[in-house]
Amino acid sequence: MRSSWVFLTALSIAASAHAQTVPPDSGRLLASNCFQCHGTNGQGSGTFERLAGESVAEIYDELVEMRQENDRGEIMTVHAFGYTDTQLRALAGYFARQPRSGGGS
Partner 1 sequence: MIARRELLQRLSALAAAGVVLPLLGSQPLRAADAAATPMLPVTGLSGRVVIVGGGMAGATLAKFLRLWGGSGIQVTLVEQAARYTSNILSNLVLTDTVALGTLQFEYTALRQRYGVTLLTGTAVGADPVSRRLTVDTPAGRQTIAYDRLVLAPGIDFEYPAGLESIAAREAIPHAWKAGPQTSLLRAQIRAIPAGGSFVMTIPAAPYRCPPGPYERACVVADWLKRNRPRARVIVLDANPQIMAERATFERAFGVTHAGVIQYVPNAAISAVDAGTRTVHTTQGSFRGQALNVIPTNIGPGLLRAIGVGNAARGFAAVNVLDYQSTAAAGIHVIGDASATTQPKAGHIGNQEAKVCADAMLRAFGGRAPDPAPVTNSACYSPITLKTASWLTAVYAYDPQSMTMKPVTGATGEAERDTKDHFEDMYTWFRTLMADSYG
Contact residues for partner 1, defined by CB under 8 A: 2, 5-6, 9, 12-13, 15-24, 28-30, 32-33, 35-40, 44-48, 72-73, 75, 78-83, 87, 102-105
Backbone angles phi, psi at 92, to 5 degrees: -65, -40
Are 60 and 49 in contact by the 8 Å Cβ rule? The answer is: no
Least CB distance to partner 1 at residue 56 (A): 18
Q: At closest approach, how far in Å is the CB of 65 from partner 1? A: 15
CA 31 to chain centre: 2
Rounded to a whole number of angstroms, the minimum distance from the CB of residue 89 to partner 1 is: 14
Written as one letter, the residue type at 14 is: A
* Cα gap 15→105, rounded to integer Å: 44
What minimum distance in Å lies between the beta carbon of 66 and partner 1?
A: 12
Taking the C-alpha atoms of residue 32 and residue 23, their distance in angstroms, rounded to an integer, is 17
